[in-house]
Chains A and B, each alone.
Chain A
Amino acid sequence: MDILLDILSWILLISGSFFTFTGAVGLFRFPDFFSRTHAASVTDTLGAGLILIGLMLQAGWGLVLAKLLLILVFSLLASTTACHAMAKAALKSGLKPLTYSDQENSAEETTSKH
């Protein structure tokens, strides 16, 4: 049973770290604000969430488990809302999301320049 829990928690911890890492990569590599926000929010939700669940499996029944659960609930509530607010504020202040046709156009422009 213990081994099963350990394996499960390690799977969760490692996949959580993976999502955190991809979030960081996405933050640098994605082309525009909105896709970057998406990458950053993946860090907060999937990344931190999976890591916290993995830690909960390690903690066993007790106060620590309750605290981790509270952290999970609050971070899910707060960080997703913050991302939503940020994206909405950006949209409202006039930043348009980058679309497929934009990329086509910019690609054409660069080719026509050459």
Chain B
Amino acid sequence: MLLSFLALTAIAITRMGDLFAVVMLSGIYSLLSASLFLDLDAVDVAFTEASVGAGISTLLFLATLKLVPRYEKKSRYKPALALGVVIVTGALLIYGTLDMPHFGDADAPVHQHVAPRYLNDSINEVGLPNVVTSVLASYRGYDTLGEVVVVFAAGIGVMSLLMVSQRTKARALTKVPADMQHQIILRIVAKMMLPLILIFALYVQFHGDYGPGGGFQAGVIFAAGIILYTMLFGLSLTQSVIKPVFVEMLTAFGVLLYSGVGIVCMILGGNYLDYDVLSHDPVHGQHLGILLIELGVGITVAAVMITLFFKFTWRTVKHKYNQ
């Protein structure tokens, strides 16, 4: 049922020329796949998909749409060759799945290799009730470090693409807040929700060891709170709370914190990102290490998202007022 919804949404996205509707549909697509993950008992993945895919990326797409025309250009060529390639590749992939073990097969390599070890030993080695967090942050610490670096690199890339002058930034401070001045209901409700959103983000951040959650989701929720505030109360008020330069530094600080924990581990005589040596007790050390690197993840993700939004806002101001 959900899969067929997914397929329908995907087809609708490809057929539509109105980019606004496409953005909304892709949000729906993410929400659907989040429900699908939830159905497969992958709560952490569902949480990430819902907060990142349906939440913040829709928002960033909308911010991009302010900079580009709303309708897709009519393409003049008929991509018959591309369709053929896609069909052949898809057929080959489906042919490949025939060799794979059946769904839920106990003898499948996935269930034989490292999964039993994670499930059986992680409670003694890492001591976290949420195995996903132990795998993500401890056993697979390198992968997660790579992901954070990717987020950081993407942030840097967009930042350098959307450079604006100091003059535009100064203009943004004076001109932007006017738009939402009359949305009294929105502003009041946002004021009521905002502290709760931020507290929830912190809860997700620090409760990730015990339930679904962690740095990625928490960072995104935190950023969404700040972005909501910026949209309703204007850039100048937000900037009096958080300096953009400070946020830009935070993007690097999160990655530094993560890799710094690894280096501290090396100095204390362990392997890179081997948290056992961080404290007198290995399990304690694991807890400390995971807490710190999750914090690093959260800081980088939140800072990158907020910076991207600032950049988009400045760029919009430039388009509107700097002619």
* A contact set with B: CB distance below 8 Å: 74, 77-78, 81, 84-85, 88
Contacts and interface: CB of A to CB of B under 8 A. Distances in A.
Contacts, number: 16
Interface string B256-291: 000000000000000000000000000000000000
Contacts of A77: 189, 192-193
Nearest to B196: A74
16 contacts: A74-B193, A74-B196, A77-B189, A77-B192, A77-B193, A78-B189, A78-B193, A81-B185, A81-B186, A81-B189, A84-B185, A84-B186, A85-B183, A85-B185, A85-B186, A88-B183
A91 to B, nearest CB: 12
Interface in B173-191: 183, 185-186, 189
A88 B183 CA distance: 9
Nearest to A81: B189
Contacts of B189: 77-78, 81
Interface residues of B, number: 7
Contacts of B196: 74
Given A74-B193, A88-B183, 14 more contacts: A74-B196, A77-B189, A77-B192, A77-B193, A78-B189, A78-B193, A81-B185, A81-B186, A81-B189, A84-B185, A84-B186, A85-B183, A85-B185, A85-B186
Nearest to A70: B196
Contacts of A84: 185-186
Nearest to A77: B189
Contacts of A81: 185-186, 189
B160 to A, nearest CB: 33
Interface string B73-94: 0000000000000000000000
Contacts of B193: 74, 77-78
A92 to B, nearest CB: 9
A30 to B, nearest CB: 19
Interface string B189-206: 100110010000000000
A77 B186 CA distance: 10
B197 to A, nearest CB: 10
| Cβ-closest 6 pairs across A and B | A81-B189, A85-B186, A84-B185, A77-B189, A81-B185, A81-B186
Contacts of B192: 77
Task: Name which of A77, A81, A84, A88 has the most chain B CB atoms within 10 A of its CB.
Answer: A81
